[in-house]
Amino acid sequence: MAYPDNTARCVFDFTLPNGSHGYVTPHVRSLDGSDLGNADVEAIATLLADWAVNDNFEGETNAALMNFGPDELTLSSITVTSLKADAPPQFALAVNDPGNGAGTPMPNESALVVTLYTGLVGRRYRGRNFWPVLTVAMMENNGTLAGVTVAAFQTTFDALIAGLEAEGTYVLAVNSDVGGFVNQAISSIVRDTVHHQRRRNN
């Protein structure tokens, strides 16, 4: 019952409009700190896929993540792997869900920035993920995301945190260890500034 056996790396594998792949890797841990087994990594993958492709995750009121992405984008799979050093449990879930958003996709290197907060002070205790789900229509003339778009994404990421808490077994986490626990993410902020990751443009 200690880090890292209670924590899993969750890899969202997106097939980008040009056929290359983009990966987003949030972490999830058990709520009570218990070790994750085979059933747990499968359950986590299923929960994350539900959030990504279905509205109203675990009783929340939100749009699914893939409702934002262009139809040229596909969430191919979610693979959840325990951080346990020896024979870590792993489960790969094929999703193959295309985006439902209209409009021209942003360049492959352009990503939505979401910062996770744990309530502890310091850069070590917050994390960022970069989600390749943007379209040109979401942008203002000054190059930032439109306020209504930011608000809609915020609702979706708030629902991920709150929905996992409501489910009652797992929590979204930031991979920094304090006292044998990876820290629980208690809030998020969706940034209006798009992040451009050069490694994604090929």
pLDDT digit string (tens) for 99-122?
A: 998 889 999 889 999 999 987 666
* Cβ atoms of 172 and 180 closer than 8 Å: no
pLDDT one-digit tens code per residue, 140-170: 999 899 999 999 999 999 999 999 999 999 9
**Tokens coding 151:** 């608000």
Please count the CA atoms within 13 angstroms of the CA of 47 that sit on its side-chain side. 26
For 24, phi and psi rounded to 5 degrees? -125, 135
Kindly list the domain boundaries of the chain, sorted by start residue: 7-200
**Model-level pTM?**
0.93
Instruction: Evaluate whether 165 touches 171 at the Cβ level (below 8 Å).
Output: yes
- Three-class secondary structure of residue 131 per DSSP: strand
Which amino acid appears at position 185 of this protein? A
